[in-house]
């Protein structure tokens, strides 16, 4: 562990040691660019609108390229056990984009000290770095194969590489089988944009040929180890475009626009992100995430959707309970008390606990506003302030995935089960990770848009819930398919389709599920 800390400390000093390399790279790249433009006429023969349109195409492709590469990096990090927050990982990724100005992109290893305790030492991120470089090399070679031997040959080569990586992933669990298609998508975007830019200048280059020119320039520039491939990538790109018959002045402008909208745009964005990271980083994380967001918690999900899920989840639980008045229930991780208050209105005697003082204060205020009596307390799942066998039912809604891992989740379930009377019921509501699209949304997109989830969650698969002594799990109940991004009118319009899906074999791919555990009656 000390060795890992020492390595991280040395890496934090790496930018200073790389300054001579950066200066040399800028000098070489500047000299090459000067030579390219030396023969240019004072003004381009193309109007500014053409240059702006071409630059816009390249910028759009670069945004897509950076976004896909972040998804790939985050996916590989999660595969190696690095569970940083989605916002933090995006900021660190963007802040290290200037690593293209370091030899062989080694500056990306600065992510180790930047992620701090999340990085788990230098070895996991070093493995991620090597996996990224390998996937990049295969993707760029595939682009060269497209232009040299045609799409069919490139598909065969790419498929073979993918199958080899799939076998490797099944043995070593490094995620190659997913990262390689993401690499093809990431590097295919700038390749296509190069063809579009040449077309904007009045000399269309086929996408296949543009893919070969771009792939060869990027790959050879990276293999030299020269920062940003300065003087190499641009020269190879320019040479490849000249062979298509483009005029020399147009080639220089295309090269400048393309390199400016890809490499140098990424560097500029990275410098801004690095400045923001430097200003905003904190020496320690907030003690309580849900205390931080207590004031805005109820704004994270549209009100109409929150009310809809509230009614449905409470309905599902009440249908499974005996039709008796005054059943005693416990809401674990009660948040702002919506569910506890609703259950009280339906006749239950409710208590709620949450480890966040701010959330409990809001829950108590909500109960007073609605005129219901709920016993809200500040407590965690490991210290439930109610004795064994004291509750008719206990439920936990979208809380368990915030715990540190499977062991903590199992212990939490056991503690909740101990509070049940004979014949009592434990209800677990969770996000369904069986749907890969929804899992991607919750792990990569939702944490960037909202503050409830951070992207560090451990999702529970309904097919592998741990057995609990003294009772049995029943089959999961799956429900909801529509994302919270939909406007209300569209959400209402699609409700019949959602209900039909909930009754079909596709229900196992829903967004949410409920598990029910029943304690033995004896």
Q: What is the pLDDT of residues 389-438, one digit of tens each?
A: 999 999 999 999 888 888 899 999 999 999 999 999 999 999 999 888 88
Q: What is the mean pLDDT of the chain?
A: 82
> Of 144 and 318, which is predicted with more confidence?
318
* Greatest distance between any 2 Cα atoms in the chain: 93
pLDDT tens-place string over residues 42-90: 555 667 788 888 889 999 999 999 999 999 999 988 888 888 888 889 9
What is the rounded CA–CA span in Å between residue 35 and residue 27?
12
Of 8, 7, 173, 1, the residue nearest 81 (C-alpha): 173
Residues 81 and 162 in one domain: yes
Q: Distance (Å, rounded) from C-alpha 25 to C-alpha 30? A: 8
In a domain, 42, yes or no: no
- C-alpha 413/C-alpha 286 separation (Å) is 26
Spell out the residues 6+ positions from residue 393 whose beta carbon is closer than 8 angstroms to its own: 317, 321, 327, 328, 329, 330, 348, 420, 424, 425, 426, 427
Q: What is the C-alpha R_g of the chain?
A: 28
Could you tell me if 330 and 356 lie in one domain?
yes
pLDDT score at 501 = 94
Q: What is the CATH number of the domain that holds 465?
A: 3.40.50.150
Q: Does one domain contain both 237 and 152? A: yes
Does the structure show a pLDDT above 60 at 22? Answer: no
- Alpha-carbon distances, residue 75 vs 115, 177, 453, 456 (angstroms): 15, 11, 17, 12
Do 165 and 306 lie in one domain? The reply is no
Task: Say whether both 437 and 300 belong to one domain.
Answer: yes
Q: What pLDDT does 387 receive? A: 92
> Is residue 333 left, alpha or beta, with left meaning phi > 0 and alpha meaning psi from -120 to 50?
left
* Region of poorest pLDDT, from 91-95, 196-200, 246-250, 342-346: 246-250
Lowest mean pLDDT segment, chosen from 31-40, 364-373, 453-462? 31-40
Q: How far is CA 218 from the centre of its chain?
A: 26
Q: Which of 280, 300, 324 marks a domain boundary?
A: 280
Long-range contacts of 28-36 (CB under 8 A, 24+ apart): 28/226, 28/230, 28/231, 29/228, 29/230, 29/231, 29/234, 31/231, 32/230, 32/231, 32/234, 32/235, 33/234, 33/256, 36/234, 36/238, 36/252, 36/255, 36/256
Higher pLDDT: 13 or 464? It is: 464
Residue 44 in domain: no
pLDDT at res. 94: 94
Q: What is the pLDDT of residue 285?
A: 42
- Return the closest-CA partner of residue 426 out of 315, 522, 330, 309: 330
DSSP 1: -
Residue 77 sits in which domain range?
2-36+50-280
How confident is the model at residue 1, as a pLDDT? Answer: 44
Dist. CA 508–CA 433, nearest whole Å: 10
Does some domain include residue 449?
yes
What pLDDT band is residue 497 in, cutting at 50, 70 and 90?
very high
- Which DSSP symbol is given to 55? H
Predicted local distance difference test score (pLDDT) of residue 381: 86
Per DSSP, 445 falls in state I
Cβ atoms 151, 212 nearer than 8 A: no
Are both 161 and 20 inside the same structural domain?
Answer: yes
Spatial separation of the C-alpha atoms in residues 114 and 329, rounded to whole Å: 44
| Whole-structure pTM value | 0.78
Q: Which of the residue ranges 2-6, 112-116, 339-343, 438-442 would you say has the lowest mean pLDDT?
A: 2-6
Which pLDDT score is estimated for 453? 65
Residues facing 426 on adjacent strands: 394, 517
Domain termination residue (choose one: 280, 311, 343): 280
When pLDDT is averaged across residues 435-452 and rounded to a whole number, the result is: 80
Top-confidence residue, 222 or 334: 334
Mean pLDDT of 326-338: 93
Task: Flag whether pLDDT at 346 surpasses 50.
Answer: yes
**126 and 229 co-located in one domain:** yes
Do 265 and 316 lie in one domain? The reply is no
Last residue of a domain, one of 280, 300, 332: 280
Q: Indicate the SS3 state at residue 271.
A: helix
Residue 503 is assigned to a structural domain of this protein: yes
Tokens of 511: 């967004």
CA distances from 87 to 90, 284, 304, 429, 447 (A): 5, 16, 26, 25, 7
Question: Which percentage of the chain shows pLDDT scores above 90?
Answer: 37
387 with 437, same domain: the answer is yes
Residue 142 lies in a domain: yes
CA distance 519 to 7: 52
Whether 43 is covered by a domain: the verdict is no
pLDDT score of 284? 39
CA distance 367 to 211: 62
Question: What is the domain count for the chain?
Answer: 2
pLDDT of residue 170: 45
Question: What long-range pairs does 28-31 form, CB within 8 A, spacing at least 24?
Answer: 28/226, 28/230, 28/231, 29/228, 29/230, 29/231, 29/234, 31/231
Whether residue 299 sits in one domain with residue 208: no
Q: How far is CA 122 from CA 125, 256, 437, in A?
A: 6, 37, 31
- Rounded to an integer, the average pLDDT of 468-495 is 90
- φ, ψ for residue 430, nearest 5 deg: -145, 165
Is there a single domain that holds both residue 241 and residue 344? Answer: no
Q: Where are the beta strands (DSSP E) in 342-390?
A: 349-354, 375-378
**Higher confidence at residue 139 or residue 474?**
474
- Are residues 184 and 330 part of one domain? no
Crossing angle, helix 19-38 and helix 248-259, to 10 degrees? 150
The secondary structure element, H or E, covering residue 513 is strand 512-519
- For residue 30, the model assigns a pLDDT of 58
14: pLDDT strictly greater than 50: no
pLDDT band at 384 (very low <50, low <70, confident <90, very high): very high
Residue 351 has pLDDT above 90, yes or no: yes
The residue that leads in pLDDT, 344 or 299, is: 344
DSSP letter (8 states) at residue 463 = G
How far, in Å, CA of 19 to CA of 91, rounded? 23
DSSP letter (8 states) at residue 230? T
| Domain contains 163 | yes
State the pLDDT at residue 291.
Answer: 44
pLDDT band at 3 (very low <50, low <70, confident <90, very high): very low
Per-residue pLDDT at 295: 43
Dig out the tokens for 331 from the structure: 């809401």
Cβ burial, residue 317 (10 Å; 0-12/13-18/19+): buried
Alpha helices by DSSP H, 80-150: 86-95, 111-115, 122-149
Mean pLDDT of 137-152: 77
Residue 286 lies in a domain: no
What is the average per-residue pLDDT within 299-304? Answer: 70
């Amino acid at each position: 562990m000390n060795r890992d800390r020492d390595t991280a400390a040395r890496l934090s000093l790496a930018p200073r040691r790389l300054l001579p390399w950066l200066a040399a790279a800028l000098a070489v790249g500047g000299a090459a660019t000067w030579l390219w433009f030396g023969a240019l006429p004072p003004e381009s023969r193309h109007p500014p609108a053409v240059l702006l349109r071409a630059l816009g195409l390249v910028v759009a492709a670069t945004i897509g390229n950076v976004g896909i590469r972040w998804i790939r990096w985050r996916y590989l990090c999660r595969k190696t056990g690095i569970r940083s927050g989605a916002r933090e990982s995006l900021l660190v990724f963007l802040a290290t984009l200037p690593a293209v100005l370091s030899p062989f992109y080694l500056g990306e290893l600065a992510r180790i000290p930047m992620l701090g305790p999340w990085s788990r030492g230098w070895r996991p991120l070093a493995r991620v770095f090597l996996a990224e470089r390998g996937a990049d090399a295969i993707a760029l070679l595939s682009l060269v194969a497209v232009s040299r031997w045609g799409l069919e040959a490139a598909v065969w080569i790419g498929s073979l590489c993918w199958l080899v990586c799939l076998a490797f992933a099944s043995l070593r669990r490094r995620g190659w089988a997913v990262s390689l298609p993401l690499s093809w998508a990431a590097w295919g975007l700038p390749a296509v944009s190069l063809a579009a830019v040449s077309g904007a200048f009045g000399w269309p280059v086929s996408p296949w040929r543009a893919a070969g020119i771009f792939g060869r320039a990027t790959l050879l520039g990276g293999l030299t180890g020269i920062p940003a491939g300065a003087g190499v990538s641009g020269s190879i790109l320019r040479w490849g475009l000249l062979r298509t018959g483009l005029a020399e002045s147009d080639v220089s402008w295309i090269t400048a626009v393309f390199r400016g909208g890809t490499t140098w745009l990424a560097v500029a964005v990275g410098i801004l992100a690095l400045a923001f990271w430097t200003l905003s980083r904190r020496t320690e994380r907030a003690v309580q995430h849900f205390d931080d967001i207590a004031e805005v918690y109820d704004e994270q999900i549209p009100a109409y959707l929150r009310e809809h899920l509230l009614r449905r989840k409470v309905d599902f639980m009440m249908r499974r309970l005996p039709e008796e008045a005054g059943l005693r229930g416990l809401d674990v991780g009660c948040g702002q008390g919506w569910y506890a208050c609703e259950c009280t209105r339906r006749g239950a005697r409710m208590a709620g606990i949450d480890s966040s003082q701010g959330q409990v204060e809001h829950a108590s205020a909500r109960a007073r506003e609605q005129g219901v009596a709920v016993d809200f307390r500040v407590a965690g799942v490991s210290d439930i302030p109610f004795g064994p066998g004291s509750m008719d039912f206990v439920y936990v809604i979208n809380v368990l995935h915030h715990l540190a891992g499977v062991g903590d989740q199992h212990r939490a379930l056991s503690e909740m089960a101990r509070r049940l009377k004979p014949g009592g019921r434990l209800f677990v509501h969770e996000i369904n990770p069986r749907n890969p699209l929804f899992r991607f949304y919750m792990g990569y997109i939702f944490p960037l848009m909202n503050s409830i989830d951070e992207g560090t969650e451990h999702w529970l698969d309904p097919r592998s819930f741990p057995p609990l002594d003294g009772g049995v799990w029943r089959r999961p109940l799956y429900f909801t398919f529509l994302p919270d991004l939909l406007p209300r009118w569209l959400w209402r319009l699609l409700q019949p389709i959602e209900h039909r899906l909930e009754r079909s074999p596709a229900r196992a791919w829903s967004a949410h599920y409920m598990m029910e555990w029943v304690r033995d009656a004896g």
